[in-house]
Amino acid sequence: MTALLSAKGLSRSFGGVHAVRDMGVEVREGSITGLIGPNGAGKSTLFNLLSGVIRPQSGTVVYNGEDITTLAPFRRARRGMIRTFQLSREFGRLTVLENLMLSPQMQLGERLWPLFSRPSAVARGDAAVYGRAEEVMEIAALTPLRDAYAADLSGGQKKLLELARTLMIDCDLILLDEPGAGVNPALMGTLTEMIHRLNADHGKTFLIVEHDMDLIGRLCNPVIVMTEGTFLTQGVFDTIRDDPRVIEAYLGG
Ligand code: ADP
Ligand code: MG
């Protein structure tokens, strides 16, 4: 197996809380890997460690064979690894198209001058970025909403936009933190289908934290289970679902 992303011995505590302790994870190239666990298990903290939002107190993160443990998030993005947040981070006063066109600068750590003169956000964008935005809107079923203000989108549409923003960058690995949270059942199908196509047709590798077991079961192999900040088990969804230790982790207090 070729691990695109591999982390070992990751630990991070906040005050006395061991949010993540001695956690390891491997994401196989070409996989859609799921990450589940009860609330407070440390999933978001692990994502923050993997994406560079926070630094581990111990452990290493290797991406594409390179140690990236201390790299800033935008440097990871430049190497092809990108993430979304549990809470969407769109700019409400910009349109869907403008949000997409700004995404490369945002994620890659460049200056955001267009934000200070809104109408120029699109006007100054170059043709390649515009063309890419049009492609991405097609992939994400956002074309009819291109001129809608992000603030006016539904929760599910914001999630689609959040995922679409990652596609503006030439990335290989996408970390999704609860892409299904707040998404209505109809859009959930669109979201699931979109992730599947990005994997199957566009070669994207995913690591997905999600509470919706239907989405996990349909898309993810393997599924990794975290509890109390650390690794519990991993495997195919049907095995994980029936594993007494997993059931106990969810039920236990
Ligand atoms: P999950 O995403 O699995 O629900 P989190 O990673 O958000 O879990 O949280 C794991 C634990 O770490 C929780 O007990 C949480 O309260 C704690 N925690 C996370 N981030 C912080 C922080 N910045 N400061 C203090 N405690 C935190
Ligand atoms: Mg979380």
Splitting the chain (253 residues) into consecutive groups of 10 residues, what average pLDDT does each group show?
A: 92 96 98 97 96 96 96 91 79 89 75 50 68 93 95 91 90 93 88 94 96 95 97 96 94 72
Per residue in 60-119, pLDDT tens? 999 999 999 999 998 999 899 998 876 667 788 889 999 998 887 777 766 555 455 444
To test the pocket of ligand 1, the residue of 11, 14, 35, 50 to mutate (highest count of ligand atoms within 8 Å of its CB) is 14
Q: Which ligand has the nearest atom to the CA of 86? A: 2
CA 12 to chain centre: 20
Cα(102)–Cα(224) distance, integer angstroms? 33
Nearest CA to ligand 1 atom 14: 40
Per residue in 121-135, pLDDT tens? 455 567 888 899 999
CATH architecture for segment(s) 3-251: 3-Layer(aba) Sandwich (3.40)
On whether the CB atoms of residues 39 and 210 are closer than 8 A, the answer is: no
Domain spans in the chain, listed from the N-terminal domain onward: 3-251
- The whole-number pLDDT of residue 119 equals 45
ipTM of the complex: 0.98
- The whole-number pLDDT of residue 13 equals 97
Determine the distance separating the centroid of ligand 1 and the alpha carbon of 47, expressed in angstroms.
11
Place of tokens 């106990």: 248
- The whole-number pLDDT of residue 96 equals 94
On whether the CB atoms of residues 4 and 184 are closer than 8 A, the answer is: no
Determine the distance separating the centroid of ligand 1 and the alpha carbon of 224, expressed in angstroms.
18
Pocket of ligand 1 (CB under 6 A): 14, 17, 19, 37, 39-45
- The whole-number pLDDT of residue 93 equals 85
- Start-to-end CA span in the chain (Å): 36
Task: With CA atoms as reference, report the closest residue to 176 among 158, 163, 187.
Answer: 163
In sequence order, the 6+-apart residues with CB closer than 8 A to the CB of 128 are none
To test the pocket of ligand 1, the residue of 10, 11, 12, 17 to mutate (highest count of ligand atoms within 8 Å of its CB) is 17
Q: What is this structure's pTM?
A: 0.91
